[in-house]
């Protein structure tokens, strides 16, 4: 569609939102069988029509220099037979999950005989704004179909041809299985203002989910007139308690910091109890410095590790997403909890300890979406926690916290059966 | 504190928000026993100190003319020994409810041995803005204490003395039982701008709940930088199906329309299946017109009931909150569902029918917080549905839908126990 004037842009967006809303109403009534049949067919079509998808992907790759993509970004954009097969497998995994819609969450008979059921229903229409790999298009569409929602997809312009080719397969599967195709909508205009227009349409859109850089999330949170599921920083901590198994602590720290650095559940900050600091800082130095990790410590840490730099106040609140770790000695478990709640981002924090009571105090006291005892922070992920595919990890407390899978895209209604009861 | 300049107002609000936030952190860690002890003592103190409360209430009543309160509003403002006893009973009822905090919502052992628990936690700090009766202060404080949240109360200025006297009892109970008094905060300045300032403080406040007129809710939804639980109109429908027991339908209609007219779960619109319209419209006329209800019908309804007025397009979407009912004849169950989803407010809608399949289609198809089969719409109320005291009825789908009690003021976190697991 390309660029358009403001009035026709507003009309286009309203039409898209209304159409998706109307189709979402039908989507909400589909049986699990129909939705699963659609997903399985879509997975098959992705594999069968991979030539078209790869051709579309080549177009995106040819235009990549226009968008100044880094080599890593180009690599994430690139599809091949293996990646398409993985994408199809991801959709099949969503199909195999339990259908949340219609689930009776609770049921109670009131003294007057009314039967009060709380029943799970879809949220409605999801506006998903993402700057990412083509497979996110397939994942997001699959999760929304499974949860009975409509979705308006707004992917990054750098993957526009690939996304469209993937959606063609999903639309084809929808048509052949009786799923309303219009429930899977796509913003076809590149105009950035289209996002602004859609974010106003709280009448037709129930929730906005931005996935990408901080500035995108801030913009969406600022402009949206509907609720937003936000995915902000992960400034994740590892606290090594005085009773910790220092070997285990070393393994967990190394994994959390080094296994993958550019992700939100990687560790960014280490807190060490004073009693075991002399011994454990040796472990830290020996494991991390040879791996190229820069340590930024408080003055005592710097005394013990001569290669460490002095941390600034800002370091305690920073998500590095790279080979840096801030390190601080604390006097007590309580100081660790207070530090994490103050400087952390309420994402994922871990304690390493052999003291059950300390573990429990930590889990109760740290206000984060996931708290780990003797495990790597890297486990805060929908797949790892058993939620299946995820559309993001919420750093909010409201509605959904932590990984958002199919069930997190639902609401509920009260369904009440009587025999003529009236209120007295 | 009275009126203050803008800078000190901003400082005052930030101080209040920060203090409540810090105290909420302690509140989250309290045991059920401590919270219940505080609530039971607060209830006792309300009764014991009723002289002070009644004296404060007299001051509010003396100032009522200043605020142009209607006689009904003055009546709602007025306290006496019986109403104070009821208020205390309400707090005791909250104390007797199950404590939601710490509840393990789900628990799963992953293939790698990680134990993944989803545990219920408080939301944090609730900003509650209400224009209402003094007892709402007691209810709101009790619900927030029970759910382990901090709360910032901003009641209507017309009940300021009464609210403060009630809060004195609650604060005294908190101090004597080890509950952090600062977790129950109150906006002491009358300046309207204080609300605007607090609505910006998403760092310290987790959710805003406005309860009052539409303009208040709109203002809060517009200005808030944190999530808002909204309580909009109840344009509630009764659909009388062709298979309905017309006697039962008459009773339900009469109750839903006439038992209490100024409330959100009262019926505002009646849909009648064409097949039973001739007989049922007689019932409508005979039951409602003598009771002083004005009927606004479509042209066919007006033909059959000569006292009915012709409804305008606007009538179908109007919450009258008074002695008016819109009436329409529909051709089918499907038309009824479409009409309700288009003109209704997604609050509460009922079907009267003896056809199980029609009931099920209605319940699935109508997108409202509560759908009723053969029961009055007036039952969509926290107490009636077994949720206990409520802080409002949400017309949102996000986070909480329908009545919001103690459990709706909670979030969750993942608590994960390992034995040294790292991600591969």
pLDDT per residue as tens digits for the range B340-398? 999 999 999 999 999 999 999 999 999 999 999 999 999 999 889 988 788 888 999 99
pLDDT of residue A88: 96
Q: The tokens of B147 are what?
A: 């759910």
Residue B341 forms contact with A (CB below 8 Å):
yes
C-alpha distance from B190 to closest chain A C-alpha (Å)? 28
List the beta bridge partners of residue B370: A414, B348
Distance separating alpha carbons of residues B374 and B284, to the nearest angstrom: 17
pLDDT value of residue B1: 47
Task: Map residue B304 onto helix, strand or coil.
Answer: helix
CA distance B284 to B249: 9
Query: Does B49 contact A at CB distance below 8 Å?
Result: no
Mean pLDDT of the B241-258 span:
98
Write out chain A residues lying below 8 Å of B398, CB-based: 123, 206-207, 227, 398-399, 411
Q: Which fold has domain A6-230+403-416?
A: Aldehyde Dehydrogenase; Chain A, domain 1 (3.40.605)
Give the residue among A300, A366, A314, A359 at the shortest CA–CA distance from A339. Answer: A366
One fold for both A6-230+403-416 and A236-384? no
Tell me if A69 sits within 8 A of A132, measured CB to CB: no
pLDDT at B4: 59
In this structure, are residues A270 and A284 in contact, taking their beta carbons and an 8 Å threshold? yes
- With a CB cutoff of 8 Å and minimum separation 6, the contacts of A271 are A237, A238, A239, A240, A327, A328, A329, A330, A336, A339, A340
CA separation for the pair A261, A325 (Å, rounded): 11
Q: Is the pLDDT of residue B421 over 60?
A: yes
CATH (one of 3.30.70.260, 3.40.309.10, 3.40.50.300, 2.60.40.10) for B236-384: 3.40.309.10
ipTM score assigned to the predicted complex: 0.92
pTM, two decimal places? 0.91
In degrees, to the nearest 5, what angle opens at C-alpha A185 toward C-alphas A183 and A186? 170
Put simply, the chain A residues between 203 and 232 with a CB less than 8 A from any chain B CB are: 206-207, 227
Do B384 and A110 make contact, defined as CB atoms within 8 angstroms?
yes
* Contact residues on chain B for A119, CB-CB shorter than 8 A: 363
- Report how far residue A384's alpha carbon sits from residue A262's, in angstroms, rounded to the nearest whole number: 18
For chain A, give every domain's residue range: 6-230+403-416, 236-384
Q: How far is B48 from chain A (nearest CA, A)?
A: 31
Give the gap in angstroms from C-alpha A350 to the nearest C-alpha of chain B. Answer: 9
Q: In a 3-state reduction of DSSP, which class is residue A29?
A: coil
Of A237-251, B170-184, B225-239, least confident by mean pLDDT is: B225-239
> Which strands form B236-240's sheet, in the order they lie side by side?
A104-109, A115-122, A410-421, B370-375, B348-352, B236-240, B267-273, B324-330, B294-297, B309-310
Q: How do residues B20-78 score in pLDDT, each as one tens digit?
A: 999 999 999 999 999 999 999 999 999 999 999 999 999 999 999 998 888 888 988 99
What pLDDT score was predicted for residue A1? Answer: 47
What ranges in A178-206 are assigned the alpha helix state H?
193-199
Are the C-beta atoms of residues A367 and A346 closer than 8 Å to each other? Answer: yes
C-beta of residue A133 within 8 angstroms of C-beta of residue A77 = yes
Contact A268, A318 (CB under 8 A): yes
| CB-based contact A367 B251, cutoff 8 Å | no
Residues 383-422 of B with CB under 8 A from A: 384-386, 396-399, 401-402, 411-422
Q: Which residue, among B29, B230, B375, would best test binding to A if mutated, counting the most A CBs under 10 Å from its CB?
A: B375
Question: Exposed, middle or buried: residue B229 (CB in 10 Å: 0-12, 13-18, 19+)?
Answer: buried
A residues 291-330 lying closer than 8 A (beta carbon) to B:
none
Verify whether the Cβ–Cβ distance B423 to A384 is below 8 Å.
yes
Q: Which residues pair with A154 in a beta bridge?
A: A129
Two structure tokens written together for B331: 């051709």
Chain A residues with CB-CB distance to B380 below 8 A: 414, 416
The alpha carbon of residue A47 is apart from the nearest alpha carbon of chain B, in Å, by 28
Q: Cβ distance A119 to A415 under 8 Å?
A: yes
Which residues, 6+ apart, have CB-to-CB distance to B66 below 8 Å? none
The phi and psi torsions of B4 (rounded to 5 degrees) equal -140, 170
Per-block mean pLDDT, blocks of 10 residues, chain A (424 long) = 71 96 96 98 98 97 90 89 95 94 96 97 97 87 97 93 96 98 92 92 95 89 91 94 98 97 95 98 97 98 97 97 97 98 96 98 96 97 86 91 94 98 96
Mean pLDDT for chain B? Answer: 94
The verdict on a CB contact (< 8 Å) between A259 and B423 is: yes
**B162 touches B58 (CB < 8 A):** no
| B132 confidence band (pLDDT: 50, 70, 90) | low
CB contacts of A337 in chain B (<8 Å) are none
Q: Which residue of A has its CA nearest to B266?
A: A423
Residue B233 confidence (pLDDT) above 90? no
Residue B8 pLDDT > 80, yes or no? yes
Distance CA B248, CA A420 (A): 6
User: Measured between alpha carbons, how far is B187 from B174 in angstroms, rounded to an integer?
Assistant: 18
Q: How close, in Å, is residue B53 to chain A by CA atoms? A: 30
Contacts of A218 (CB under 8 A, 6+ apart): none
Are B25 and A341 a contacting pair at CB < 8 A?
A: yes
What would the pLDDT profile of B99-111 be if each residue is shown by its tens digit?
A: 999 999 999 999 9
Q: Which two tokens stand for residue A340?
A: 């994490």
């Amino acid at each position: 569609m390309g660029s358009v004037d403001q009035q026709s842009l507003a009309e286009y967006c309203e039409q898209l939102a209304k159409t998706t809303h109307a189709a979402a109403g039908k989507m909400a009534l589909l049986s699990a069988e129909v939705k699963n049949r659609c997903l399985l067919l879509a997975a098959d079509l992705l594999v069968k029509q991979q030539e078209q998808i790869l051709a579309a992907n080549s177009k995106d790759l040819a235009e990549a220099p226009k968008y100044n993509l880094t080599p890593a970004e180009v690599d994430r954009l690139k599809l091949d037979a293996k990646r398409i097969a993985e994408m199809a497998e991801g959709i099949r995994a969503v199909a195999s999950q339990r259908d949340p819609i219609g689930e009776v969450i609770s049921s109670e008979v009131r003294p007057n005989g009314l039967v009060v059921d709380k029943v799970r229903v879809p949220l409605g229409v999801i506006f998903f704004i993402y700057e990412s790999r083509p497979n996110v298009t397939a994942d997001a569409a699959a999760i929304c179909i499974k949860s009975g929602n409509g979705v308006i997809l707004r992917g990054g312009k750098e993957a526009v041809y690939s996304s469209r080719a993937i959606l063609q397969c999903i639309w084809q599967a929808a048509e052949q299985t009786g799923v309303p195709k219009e429930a899977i909508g796509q913003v076809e205009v590149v105009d950035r203002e289209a996002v602004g227009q859609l974010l106003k349409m709280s009448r037709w859109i129930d929730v906005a989910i931005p996935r990408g850089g901080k500035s995108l999330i801030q913009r969406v949170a600022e402009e949206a007139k509907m609720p937003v599921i936000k995915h902000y920083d992960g400034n994740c901590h590892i606290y090594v308690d005085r009773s910790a198994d220092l070997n285990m602590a070393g393994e967990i720290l190394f994994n959390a910091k080094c296994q993958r650095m550019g992700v939100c559940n990687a560790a960014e900050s280490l807190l060490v109890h004073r009693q075991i600091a002399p011994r454990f800082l040796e472990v830290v130095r020996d494991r991390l410095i040879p791996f190229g990790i820069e340590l930024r410590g408080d003055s005592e840490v710097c005394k013990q590790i001569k290669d460490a730099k002095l941390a600034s106040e800002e370091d305690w609140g920073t998500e590095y997403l790279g080979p840096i770790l801030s390190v601080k000695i604390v006097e007590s478990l309580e100081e660790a909890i207070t530090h994490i709640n103050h400087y952390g981002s309420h994402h994922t924090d871990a304690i390493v300890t052999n003291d059950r009571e300390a573990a429990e105090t930590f889990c109760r006291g740290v206000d984060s979406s996931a708290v780990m005892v003797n495990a790597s922070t890297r486990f805060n992920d929908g797949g790892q926690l058993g939620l299946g595919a995820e559309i993001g990890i919420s750093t909010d407390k409201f509605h959904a916290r932590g990984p958002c899978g199919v069930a997190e895209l639902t609401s509920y209604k009260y369904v009440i059966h009587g025999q003529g009861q009236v209120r007295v």
